[in-house]
Amino acid sequence: MWRNLASNVLTLLIVGLVLLAGIIGWGQRQYVAEGPLEDAMCLQVPPGSTMSRVADRLAADGAITNATIYRLGADYTERSNQLKAGSFLIQPGSSMEEIVAEITGDGLSTCGTEVIYRVSVASQSVRVRELDAATQDFEVVAEFDPLAVEDVPAEYTSALDDVATRYRVIVAEGVTSWQVVNAISGSNLFTGEVAAVPDEGSLAPDGYEIRPGDDRQAFLDRMIAAQTERLFSAWENRAADAPVDTPEEALILASIIEKETSVPEERRIVASVFANRLEQGIRLQTDPTVIYGITRGEGILGRGIRQSELRRETPWNTYVIEGLPPTPIANPGLASIEAALDPDETDYIFFVAKRGGGHEFAVTLDEHNRNVAEYRRWQAELEAESESTEN
């Protein structure tokens, strides 16, 4: 009898283990399977939330099929204690595994409200926008000049009070290091002091995710590290006949290209003009270097260049000096760095602005003079139209 009883118990135990294994396997499949969410949603995770509360919220909103499996899966993968506060975009059909990964990652919000601090050559702006999870389109709810506004928009204040707000600083190509330092020094999104204005050209223009309270010097160090990496990569992939001899010269030439054109398709053509001039021993004669010699990169000139300034000798005035100036005149983007190290092959020696944007390029001085005459006629027409409108 005892032998039969033991046999029955063993059989039940085996059956139980098989059933348990089946349940575990089913739960694992449910955890990684496509979820039931039909439309994207913005999941708000307040500070102090637990994975259990999040699971109940997701189940109630129809984003997951089983809150218990979700909790057990998060526990099994040891992610329950990695939950971040914020606003997270959950895509349609996201599995429980994907949702857990989204809300336990780097903690940067991917939906809801976003504050963008933009630093451009001529201005600074703060934009507050909100992402519609359904359409995944951003709607701007406030925009202002942080240097000129007296009454900060309520939408900005509300965004700062919301722990789920995402923050980005966008630094445009062609800004100077002084302009970047001036911008972040005046922003309440940062703390700490800047040791010194970084070397011109050493900062990588780009968009950077930040968090309120980030250290100013640490932010600049991020930009320096990014530019160093870009320059190294571009230098390693330079053309065999690149017109410069060192990475430092590449950065100088790239900064001039950056200031001369904002048309992407023109960068390598502009680079070819400077490459041809350097090869033939012709002075670069580029206005942005004259301006840098006047301003030292501290703000914009805000007026035309005087003839006396074109003749004034400064280390950067390429109407006076031979070859490249001693330092960059701005912080160039990657495209300009690559253009400096691999210009198009052309015979162009001259270029001047043209109607509708961009430039007219020329090989001979006679052709260039005709282009300049056309440019001046266009400028005169614009001035006449402006005076007519004012009267």
What is the number of structural domains in the chain? 3
Judge whether residue 27 has pLDDT over 70.
no
What is the pLDDT, as a whole number, of residue 17? 56
Q: Point out the domain boundary residue: 200, 231, 262.
A: 231
CA gap 39, 22 in Å, rounded: 32
CA gap 365, 382 in Å, rounded: 25
Mean pLDDT taken over the chain:
86
Q: Point out the domain boundary residue: 231, 261, 276.
A: 231
Same domain, 260 and 130: no
What is the pLDDT, as a whole number, of residue 303? 85
8 in any annotated domain? no
Same domain, 128 and 227: yes
Same domain, 243 and 371: yes
390 in any annotated domain? no
| pTM for this entry | 0.78
Name the residue range of residue 34's domain: 24-103
pLDDT, average across residues 3-31: 60
The closest of 40, 45, 31 to 96, measured between CA atoms, is 31
7 in any annotated domain? no
> Looking at 25-34, 113-122, 165-174, which range is the least confident one?
25-34
What is the pLDDT, as a whole number, of residue 242? 94
> Looking at 23-27, 99-103, 135-139, which range is the least confident one?
23-27
What's the CATH number where 95 sits?
3.30.1490.480
What would the DSSP string read from start to end of 297-320?
TSS---SPPPHHHHHS--TT-TTT
What is the pLDDT, as a whole number, of residue 232? 96
pLDDT, average across residues 342-371: 91
Q: Point out the domain boundary residue: 103, 137, 169.
A: 103
Same domain, 173 and 144: yes
Q: Considering Cα of 238, then 242, then 247, then 251, what sign does the dihedral take? A: negative
Same domain, 313 and 222: no
Same domain, 137 and 219: yes
391 in any annotated domain? no
Residues 177-190 pLDDT 10s: 999 999 999 888 89
Same domain, 134 and 77: no
Same domain, 245 and 371: yes
Highest mean pLDDT among 109-118, 336-345, 353-362: 336-345
> Where would I find the beta strands (DSSP E) of the chain?
41-45, 86-90, 113-119, 124-132, 137-144, 166-171, 190-191, 207-210, 214-215, 350-353, 359-362
Same domain, 54 and 140: no
What is the pLDDT, as a whole number, of residue 180? 96
Same domain, 145 and 211: yes
Judge whether residue 347 has pLDDT over 80.
yes
Q: Which residue has the tokens 């004669």?
A: 285
Judge whether residue 21 has pLDDT over 80.
no
3 in any annotated domain? no
Query: How many CB atoms neighbour CB 87 within 10 A?
Result: 24
352 in any annotated domain? yes
Residues 261-311 pLDDT 10s: 989 999 999 999 999 999 999 999 999 999 999 999 998 888 888 899 889
Q: Helix (H, G, I), strand (E, B), or coil: what is residue 138?
A: strand
Same domain, 272 and 307: yes
Instruction: Estimate the crossing angle of helix 216-236 against helix 247-260, to 10 degrees.
Output: 100
39 in any annotated domain? yes
Same domain, 32 and 158: no
**Straight-line distance from the first to the last Cα atom of the chain, in angstroms, rounded to the nearest whole number:** 116
5 in any annotated domain? no
- Selected residue with higher pLDDT from 187 and 18: 187
> Looking at 5-14, 52-61, 174-183, 356-365, which range is the least confident one?
5-14
